[in-house]
Amino acid sequence: MRRAEVKRETGETKIAVALDLDGTGRADIATGIGFLDHMLTLLARHSMVDFLVRAEGDLQVDDHHTTEDVGIALGQALRQALGAKIGIRRYADCLMPMDETLARVALDISGRAFLVFKAEFPSEKIGTFDTELVREFFQAFAANAQVTLHAEALYGSNSHHIAEALFKGLARVLRHATEIDARAKDAVPSTKGTLSV
């Protein structure tokens, strides 16, 4: 059962997430941030991971703490759901088009937290959402999932499309890297015999 639940409560946010790696892409998302809800719904649908996310945060300040803490909780839930990582494919990469935008995302479920993020957004906001928070989400997610994640917008002129391509790319690599490899379903995909830190 590759499922996990995480609760995180600080002076800034109160977060509850649950995920099922072997789901159907069902999303039940309520963060109080419309654009983040949209991105997380895409993440669930295209990764085929079921997500439940509830977040209350200090949105009167801005969206930063809530976005970051949702990324932290989802990363922790992914790490827990993967357990010893037996049988997973581990690696995946994706080129994701979104109209005029093309993003490249690559993932190694390595047990080592590392993010390379390269994206320039033409605008500072998408609606009321600060575009710099896309990177903050990816950073929080990668650090707490303990994965190596490379995400790059190769080109694009619409900030919404750039963010969407990056999230959809993340979804596709999550789907493939977390899948069970039928040829090695009883093995940890590492010559070291472990993917734990």
Nearest of 193, 118, 126 to residue 159 by alpha carbon = 126
SS3 of residue 89 by DSSP: coil
Q: Mark residue 32 as left, alpha or beta (left: phi above 0; alpha: psi -120 to 50; beta: remaining).
A: left
pLDDT in tens, 119-169: 999 999 999 999 999 999 999 999 999 999 999 999 999 999 999 999 999
Residue 191 clears pLDDT 80, i.e. is over it: no
The predicted pLDDT at position 197 comes to: 58
Residue type, 49: V
The whole-angstrom separation of Cα 147 and Cα 182 is 22
pLDDT in tens, 83-111: 999 999 999 999 999 999 999 999 999 89
Q: Is the pTM of this model over 0.85?
A: yes
The predicted pLDDT at position 184 comes to: 80
The whole-angstrom separation of Cα 35 and Cα 158 is 15
Please state, rounded to an integer, the average pLDDT across all residues of the chain.
Answer: 95
The predicted pLDDT at position 188 comes to: 77
- Give just the sign of the alpha carbon dihedral 88, 173, 24, 30: positive
Q: Taking a C-beta distance cutoff of 8 angstroms, is the pair 178, 142 a contact?
A: no
